[in-house]
Amino acid sequence: DFEARYRDRVIDYVYKTYGAQRVARVATYNTFKARSAIRDIGKVLGFAEEELGKLAKSLPHTYADRIRGVLDHLPELQDSPLKDQRFQLLLDVCEKIAGFPRFLGTHLGGLVISDVPLTDLTPLQKSALGPVITQFDKDDVEALGLVKLDLLSLRTLSVVQDAVQQIQETGAPLDYDRIALDDKATYDMINQGETIGVFQLESPAQRALQTRLEASHMEDIVASMALIRPGPIKGNMVDPYIRRRQGQEEITYLHPLLKPILEKTYGVILFQEQVIEIAIAVAGFTPGEADQLRRIMTHARSQRAMEEIGHHFVQKAILNGIEAEVAESIFACMVGYASYGFCEAHAAAFADTSYKTAYLIKHYPSQYFAALLNHQPMGYYPLHVIANEARRRGIKLLPADVNQSQIDCKADSPASIRIGLKLIKGISRSTLESICQEQELGLFSSVADFIKRIAPPRDEAENIIKCGALDSLYPNRRELLSILPYWESADHLLFVGSLPNTDAITDFSLQQKRFMERELLGLDIQEHFLAFMRPWLHRQGIMSSQELHTVKSGRPVQAAGLLIHPHRPPTRSGRITVFFALEDEFGLTDVTMFE
CATH code at position 480 = 1.10.150
Residue 263 sits in the same domain as residue 288: yes
Q: How many CB atoms lie within 10 A of CB 451?
A: 20
**Cβ contacts of 66 within 8 Å, gap of 6 or more:** 34, 98
**Cβ contacts of 166 within 8 Å, gap of 6 or more:** 367, 370, 371, 410, 411
Residue 304 sits in the same domain as residue 186: yes
Check if the beta carbon of residue 409 is closer than 8 Å to that of residue 417: yes
DSSP H or E segment with residue 26: strand 23-31
3-state helix, strand, coil in the chain (%, to 5): 55, 10, 35
Per the domain annotation, does 379 fall within a domain?
no
pLDDT of residue 299: 64
396-398 vs 416-418, strand pairing mode: parallel
Instruction: Please give the tally of structural domains in the chain.
Output: 4
Residue 516 sits in the same domain as residue 545: no
Check if the beta carbon of residue 226 is closer than 8 Å to that of residue 347: yes
Per the domain annotation, does 357 fall within a domain?
no
Residue 288 sits in the same domain as residue 407: no
Per the domain annotation, does 529 fall within a domain?
no
Cβ-in-10-Å burial (0-12, 13-18, 19+) of 54 comes to exposed
Closest CA to 162 of 395, 400, 406: 406
Residue 564 sits in the same domain as residue 495: no
Cβ-in-10-Å burial (0-12, 13-18, 19+) of 527 comes to middle
pLDDT of residue 172: 87
**Cβ contacts of 179 within 8 Å, gap of 6 or more:** 355, 356, 359
Residue 499 sits in the same domain as residue 538: no
**Cβ contacts of 265 within 8 Å, gap of 6 or more:** 223, 241, 271, 274
Per the domain annotation, does 481 fall within a domain?
yes
Cβ-in-10-Å burial (0-12, 13-18, 19+) of 236 comes to exposed
For 440, phi then psi, to 5°, come to -70, -25
pLDDT of residue 338: 59
**Cβ contacts of 518 within 8 Å, gap of 6 or more:** 384, 524, 529
Q: Distance between CA 161 and CA 3 in Å, rounded?
A: 8
Residue 129 sits in the same domain as residue 164: no
Check if the beta carbon of residue 28 is closer than 8 Å to that of residue 141: no
Q: Distance between CA 250 and CA 248 in Å, rounded?
A: 7
- Domain of 119, in residue numbers: 4-150
pLDDT of residue 232: 66
This model's pTM is above 0.95: no
Per the domain annotation, does 374 fall within a domain?
no
What is the DSSP code string of 198-261? STTT-SHHHHHHHHHH---SHHHHHHHHHHSSHHHHHTT-HHHHHHHHTTSS----SSGGGHHH
Q: Distance between CA 411 and CA 356 in Å, rounded?
A: 19
For residue 172, give the amino acid letter: A
Cβ-in-10-Å burial (0-12, 13-18, 19+) of 476 comes to middle
Residue 515 sits in the same domain as residue 581: no
pLDDT of residue 497: 47
- Among residues 470, 492, 521, which one ends one of the domains? 521
**Cβ contacts of 437 within 8 Å, gap of 6 or more:** none
**pLDDT means per 10 residues in the chain (595 residues)?**
81 87 88 91 91 90 87 84 88 89 84 89 84 85 84 87 93 91 94 93 89 90 85 71 88 91 88 89 88 74 74 89 90 73 87 95 96 89 91 92 94 93 94 93 90 88 93 90 75 48 77 92 88 91 90 90 83 76 88 85
Per the domain annotation, does 212 fall within a domain?
yes
Residue 215 sits in the same domain as residue 126: no
Q: Where are the beta strands (DSSP E) in 392-491?
A: 396-398, 410-413, 416-418
Q: Distance between CA 171 and CA 190 in Å, rounded?
A: 27
Residue 338 sits in the same domain as residue 426: no
Residue 430 sits in the same domain as residue 482: yes
Residue 166 sits in the same domain as residue 111: no
- Residue 30: beta bridge partners? 103
pLDDT of residue 267: 87
Distances (CA, A) of 186 to 108, 180, 193, 351, 413: 33, 10, 11, 13, 21
Per the domain annotation, does 369 fall within a domain?
no
Q: Distance between CA 542 and CA 559 in Å, rounded?
A: 5
From its phi and psi, is residue 343 left (phi > 0), alpha (psi between -120 and 50) or beta? Answer: beta
Domain at 33, CATH number: 1.10.10.1600
**Residue 327 DSSP SS3:** helix
Per the domain annotation, does 477 fall within a domain?
yes
